[in-house]
Structure 1
Amino acid sequence: MNVVVTEYNDNWKQRFSEESQKIKDVFGNELIEIHHIGSTSVPGLKAKPIIDIMPVVKDIKKIDSFNEQMTGLGYECMGELGMKGRRYFRKGGDNRTHQVHVFQVDNREDINRHLAVRDYLRIHSEEVNHYGNLKEHLAKQFPKDIDAYMDGKDTFVKELERKALHWYKMIKER
C-alpha cells in the first residue's frame, strides 16, 4: 500500500455522509449509530485520504450475515482482523478509500477510544499540527512501507490516546 498524506479536504465530510448512508441501508435495524472517525474526521488534520467509519450495532455476530451486501458495495470483509469484538471492512484495495470498524454497543472501551481521540483533536489544534506534521514526515520517509509508517506513529498515537481518554472521561463526568 502506498502511503500518501494530504492536506485536510472538506470533501471528506461528504464522502463520509454518502458512504454511511449506504452502510445504514445494509445494516438496517441492527445499527444504533454511525460515526466518522480517524484523521479525515478532524478539520485541519493532514491525513491519508481514507474515510474511517464506525457503525455501532446491537449484536456484532449478526454483522457477518451482511458480508455479501458489504461485498456488493465494494468492501473486503476482513472479520476481526486482530481486534477482538470488531468487524472490519475495507474498500479500494491498494488505493483504499474507506475503512469500516464495526463495534457492538456494549464495547465502550473501543468506541470511546475512537470518539475520544477524534473529539480531543477537534479542539486541540496544537496536537493536530504536531500529528499532521509527523504523518507527513513519515509518509515521505516511508512512501511504500505502511508498516514502517505505522510503527513511526505508534508512540505518538499511544500517548495521544492516553491524553484523549483522560480528557474524554473528565468532560463526561461534568
Structure 2
Amino acid sequence: MKVEVVPPNPRWVEEFETESQQIALVMAENMITIHHIGSTAIPGIYAKPVIDFLIEVKDIGKTDDQSVAMVAIGYEAMGEFGLPGRRYFRKNSSPDMRTHHVHTYEVGSSEITRHLAFRDYMISHPDAARQYSELKRELAKKYSQDIEGYMDGKDEFIKVMEKKALEWQALLASAHH
C-alpha cells in the first residue's frame, strides 16, 4: 500500500461528522461517545488522508454482535487486530485506498486516555504538531512503498509525545481541582 501524506484538508472534519452519524446508528445504545483522533483531527498538519474514529462503548463484547452492521456500511471487521481489548474496523474506497479506521474500546480503557491526550496535546502545542507534520512528510518520502517503515519511523516520536501529553493532561487535571 502506497504511503501518501497530504496537506491538511478542512473536509476531514466534515467527513468525520458524516461518517459518525452512520456509525452511531450501527453502534446504537452500546455507544457512549465517538471521537475524532489521529492526524486528521489535528488542524494544520499533513496526514495520510484516513479518518480515525475512537469509539467508547459500554460493552466491548456487544461490539462483536455489531460487526455485521459495520460490514453492511462498508467496513471490514478486524477483531482486536493485535491490541487486546480493542475492536478495529477499516474501510477502503478502493482496494488500495484506505479511508477510515475505527478503534473501539470499552469505557474506562487507558487506550482512550492515551489517544485523546496525544490529540489534545498536539492541538494545544502547535510546535509539536509541526514537528510531527514534518516528520511524517520525511518518512512518507523515504518509505513511499513501505507502510511498516513509515509506522516504525513515527513510533519513537509518538511515544515521547504521548508521555508528555499524559503528564500535561495530569497537570491540567490537578489545576482544575
Q: What's the TM-score once normalised by structure 2's chain length?
A: 0.96
Deviation by residue 1:29-54 (Cα, 9 ceiling, x = unmatched): 11111100000000011100100001
RMSD of aligned residue pairs (Cα, Å): 0.8
Aligned equivalents of 2:22 and 2:98: distance in 1?
17
Aligned position for 1:164:
165
Deviation by residue 1:10-33 (Cα, 9 ceiling, x = unmatched): 000000000110000001111111
Aligned position for 1:5:
5
- The count of residues paired between Structure 1 and Structure 2 equals 173
Q: Which of 99, 110, 121 matches 2:101?
A: 99
Aligned equivalents of 1:105 and 1:94: distance in 2?
33
Shift of 1:154: 1.1
Q: Mark the runs of 5 or more structure 2 residues left unpaired by the alignment.
A: none
Aligned position for 2:139:
138
Shift of 1:106: 2.1
Shift of 1:170: 1.2
Query: What is the identity, as a one-letter code, of the residue corresponding to 2:99?
Result: T
- Say whether 1:84 aligns with 2:81: no
Aligned equivalents of 1:152 and 1:170: distance in 2?
29
Deviation by residue 1:103-141 (Cα, 9 ceiling, x = unmatched): 10021x100101001000001010111100000000011
Aligned equivalents of 2:145 and 2:9: distance in 1?
23
Q: What's the TM-score once normalised by structure 1's chain length?
A: 0.97
Shift of 1:168: 1.0
Query: What is the identity, as a one-letter code, of the residue corresponding to 2:153?
Result: G
Aligned equivalents of 2:69 and 2:156: distance in 1?
37
Residue 80 of structure 1 aligns to a residue whose secondary structure is coil
Percent same amino acid at aligned positions? 49
Deviation by residue 1:33-83 (Cα, 9 ceiling, x = unmatched): 110000000001110010000110000000000111111111110000011
Q: Mark the runs of 5 or more structure 1 residues left unpaired by the alignment.
A: none
